[in-house]
Amino acid sequence: MACKQTVRSIFVGIRIACVWVALCFCITAIPSVTEAARHAVTPEHPRLLGSRERLQMLARQRQEAYERVVRVARQQEADDHAKMISMALVCAIEQDAQLGNRAVEMAIKYVNGPIRKGHTPFAHDLARCAIVYDLCHEYWSEQQRGKFHEYMNKTVDANVRSETHVFHNGWYGYKQWGIGLACYATYYENPRAPEILNALEQEWRSRAAPALELAGDGGGWAEGYYINYWLYEWLFFCEAARYCEGLDYYATAPGFFRNRAIASMFEAYPGIKTYNSRRPVPMGDGGGRTFGGDRDKVLSARRILVNYLRDDPGHRSVHAFNETTPRSAVGVYAYKDFLWRDETVKRGDLKDFKLSHISPGPGYVYARSSWDEDATYFFFKCGDRFTAHQHLDVGHFLIYKHEELAGDGGHYDSFGSSHDVNYHLRTIAHNTILVDDPSERWPAIRAGSVSGNDGGQHHRWPHHNGAVTDADAWRKDEKLYDIADILAYEDRGGYVYVAGDCTQAYSPKKLEYFTRQIVLLRPGTFVIFDRVCSKKPQFKKTWLLQAMKTPTRAGPDLIITNGRGRLFVQTLLPTDPQVKLVEGDRLYSYGGKTYPPNRNTGPAPQCRIEVSPSQQEAVDYFLHMLTATDADTGRVDRAKTHIDDGRITVNIGDTNVTFLTAEVGGRISVNGNQSELTKTIARNP
């Protein structure tokens, strides 16, 4: 590492002292370059996206996409971001002075505007202006260039203390990508650009990359849904770094970047829907319930990583997945298709690709019944605490078949609202377990007014947002933030098994242990076994399921029907359950208080299913079988349960699943073929 830092220092000096002859980037993919083999920043403009010759070559190769970019640049109305990037691209490719001057005029409005700082997307302003500066460089006057340098430097100085938490989206999307692009665009003209860029890289290496490796191992991201908002921007900068100086940011966080496109592929519900797009699954804050431009950013981010890892068989399968939605859903985002959709990547066969994936960093397991668009989908969460946008939802899961069936409750109406801190982010809005200690109280969360005792997971972090600054800070207080663990995971083809320890997510004053084991019997049967031991027998335990539609009753069972999908819910344990359906005006109520949302953010669960034992014990077992089917399925076979000598067995036709009551473990028998439920975590292939 010391040797690498020495090389870095030498190159910084060389960059500032002299100008190297630039290499002409006339290839679609850039090879990975080790730090020791790096070049100085290429001096010619354009450079952020490669040379003019490269962009002209892409215009010939990707003619249909480029024609759409031209229409956006010359004819269509668009937001400033899409308009300025489209105009700059066409200007650079065709050396169109009229477009170049118009793009500069639009950029100057930002340059002459107020300096934005704090939790605002000031980096987007910097980025779009930097792209225009680079691609339309000859159309900026010397005075205008000087003003841009001043605007850039003042924005950087105003935001030294902004967005410093590297587990949070703002570091990547609100701050550093725009600063980085501006540095590369102005590198030899703004004397401060090398210094600022060097500081960015050092912070990346010392703080951000370790955070991605910790909370993003396996490609998922603990912050949840917000990765869909910032990752594309950060990858845009990473690509610019490779084009401008051959610097490979991806190589410093391989556990994240080499798995991210695959995890992203698994974070999309089956089915191509609104505007020919795929909907990402809900995870923590952020939404995604209704259509938004983030869907195109997700697609573009996967494309960038596929292009980078084009020789990897798994990423060739991701490419095949990407090609099922070949165009960005928002028309004015044609420039994303032009820049990142590379049809020269070889396509893999999705039918041969794995059907589940684990991201150990955030504690995510994803599984599907197939890669068909009508597949059954499953997501499970059992991971640690890192940042403010996470919820108190350890042990939570999602089930989807044609539509969401078991979903994520509440609405993200605003950060820290009464509904947010008392319902939306709380355990009661998720598919997990409540343990009611009437004396329990919660401190402030997100600086919101917390008054509800939902019986859920606690919030005991020093910062009211529950956020931690970086990996070193997390490890310093690891006992505080290490709240859950995936204990076992394997995919045997016919079934997927996952086990998690959720104990530390709850107050130790009320809970001894809570473990959850789930067996997915493909295509759509879920056997869920929970072992829950409370400190006192009288602490009521409640099993939760967020039903997207109010279920109907079929004897002792419940049936949730949403569109073309249906979920049969069988409660096998406790033997004499109390089953409560909370819906309508009571949905956002508990403990005698109501916390309605200020706004509707899209389709959300309409009913909360609560299952509790009739008689409370210190140790209670919850055993459920959920079966996802088409909506025209009238019934499914009822499971049978046997309890004998510390074992609980579920009989489902020719399949028997046995769980141990004293510890996590058991066995499964399918058509007489028996195997033990693993006690380890299988590696991703």
- pLDDT score of 38 more than 90: no
pLDDT at 164: 96
pLDDT at 39: 62
Q: Considering the chain, what is the average pLDDT of its residues?
A: 93
Contacts of 652 (CB under 8 A, 6+ apart): 521, 525, 527, 625, 637, 639
Count of Cβ atoms closer than 10 Å to residue 14 Cβ: 13
Q: Mark out the alpha helices in 113-159 (DSSP H runs).
A: 122-135, 142-158
Contacts of 225 (CB under 8 A, 6+ apart): 280, 282, 283, 284, 285, 286, 287, 288, 389
Does a structural domain hold residue 647?
Answer: no
Residues 250 and 398 both lie in one domain: no
- pLDDT score of 511 more than 90: yes
Does a structural domain hold residue 362?
Answer: no
Task: Name the helix (H) or strand (E) containing 526.
Answer: strand 525-534
pLDDT at 352: 93
Tell me what the mean pLDDT of segment 244-266 comes to. 97
Residue 39 and residue 246 in contact, taking contact as beta carbons nearer than 8 Å = yes
The Cα 103–Cα 78 span in angstroms is 13
Range of the domain at 623: 368-631
Residue 433 and residue 514 in contact, taking contact as beta carbons nearer than 8 Å = yes
Does a structural domain hold residue 10?
Answer: yes
Residues 44 and 149 both lie in one domain: yes
- pLDDT score of 94 more than 60: yes
| Domain end (from 296, 320, 352) | 352
Phi, psi of 508 (to 5 degrees): -65, -10
**pLDDT-derived band at 447, boundaries 50, 70, 90:** confident
Residue 479 burial by Cβ neighbours in a 10 Å radius (0-12, 13-18, 19+): exposed
Tell me what the mean pLDDT of segment 186-215 comes to. 97
Does a structural domain hold residue 144?
Answer: yes
The Cα 194–Cα 175 span in angstroms is 17
- The conformation of residue 356, written as its DSSP 8-state character, comes to E
Identify the three-state secondary structure at position 623.
Answer: strand
pLDDT at 320: 98
Tell me what the mean pLDDT of segment 507-529 comes to. 98
The token pair that represents 89 in the structure block: 């691209």
Residue 526 and residue 399 in contact, taking contact as beta carbons nearer than 8 Å = yes
Does a structural domain hold residue 646?
Answer: no
Task: Name the helix (H) or strand (E) containing 358.
Answer: strand 356-359
Phi, psi of 590 (to 5 degrees): -165, 155
pLDDT at 27: 32
Residue 71 and residue 115 in contact, taking contact as beta carbons nearer than 8 Å = no
Strand partners, 48: 50
Residue 48 belongs to domain with CATH number: 1.50.10.100
The token pair that represents 295 in the structure block: 């869907």
The token pair that represents 593 in the structure block: 């208080």
Residue 503 and residue 481 in contact, taking contact as beta carbons nearer than 8 Å = no
What's the domain count of the chain? Answer: 2
Tell me what the mean pLDDT of segment 368-391 comes to. 97
Residues 308 and 435 both lie in one domain: no
Count of Cβ atoms closer than 10 Å to residue 290 Cβ: 11
pLDDT digit string, tens, across residues 16-36: 333 333 323 333 343 333 333
Exposure of 600 in the CB half-sphere (CA atoms within 13 A): 5
Residues 174 and 305 both lie in one domain: yes
The Cα 485–Cα 500 span in angstroms is 6
| Domain end (from 319, 352, 385) | 352
Residues 156 and 106 both lie in one domain: yes
- Judged by average pLDDT, the poorest of 130-139, 207-216, 665-674 is 665-674
Contacts of 10 (CB under 8 A, 6+ apart): none
Q: How far is CA 547 from CA 321, 568, 599, in A?
A: 29, 11, 20
Does a structural domain hold residue 543?
Answer: yes
- Judged by average pLDDT, the poorest of 11-15, 196-200, 477-481, 485-489 is 11-15
pLDDT at 684: 76
Identify the three-state secondary structure at position 117.
Answer: coil
Please report, for the chain, how many H helices and E strands are present, in that order: 19, 24
Residues 248 and 103 both lie in one domain: yes
Tell me what the mean pLDDT of segment 409-428 comes to. 97
Q: What is the dihedral of CA 226, 229, 234, 235, to 10 degrees?
A: 110
Phi, psi of 485 (to 5 degrees): -145, 135
Residues 258 and 403 both lie in one domain: no
Residue 452 belongs to domain with CATH number: 2.70.98.70
The Cα 262–Cα 295 span in angstroms is 16
Count of Cβ atoms closer than 10 Å to residue 680 Cβ: 9
Strand partners, 626: 526, 569
Pairing relationship of beta strands 557-562 and 673-676 according to DSSP bridges: unpaired
Residues 481 and 567 both lie in one domain: yes
- Judged by average pLDDT, the poorest of 52-66, 457-471, 560-574 is 457-471
Residues 165 and 93 both lie in one domain: yes
Q: Any idea what the Cα angle at residue 556 is, between residues 550 and 559, rounded to 5°?
A: 30
Task: Name the helix (H) or strand (E) containing 514.
Answer: strand 511-521
Residue 185 and residue 192 in contact, taking contact as beta carbons nearer than 8 Å = no
Residue 310 burial by Cβ neighbours in a 10 Å radius (0-12, 13-18, 19+): middle
**pLDDT-derived band at 464, boundaries 50, 70, 90:** confident
Q: Is the pTM of this model over 0.85?
A: yes
The Cα 658–Cα 13 span in angstroms is 66
Identify which of 458, 464, 466, 449 has the alpha carbon closest to the alpha carbon of residue 593.
449
| Domain end (from 291, 324, 352) | 352
Provide, rounded to the nearest whole percent, the portion of the chain with pLDDT above 90.
Answer: 91
The Cα 280–Cα 227 span in angstroms is 11
Does a structural domain hold residue 250?
Answer: yes
pLDDT at 683: 78
- pLDDT score of 356 more than 80: yes
- pLDDT score of 9 more than 60: no
Residues 343 and 459 both lie in one domain: no
Identify which of 20, 78, 66, 25 has the alpha carbon closest to the alpha carbon of residue 48.
25
pLDDT at 106: 98
The Cα 685–Cα 677 span in angstroms is 19
Does a structural domain hold residue 434?
Answer: yes
The Cα 378–Cα 524 span in angstroms is 9
Contacts of 380 (CB under 8 A, 6+ apart): 364, 365, 366, 396, 397, 498, 500, 518
Residues 326 and 233 both lie in one domain: yes
Residues 121 and 264 both lie in one domain: yes
pLDDT at 162: 97
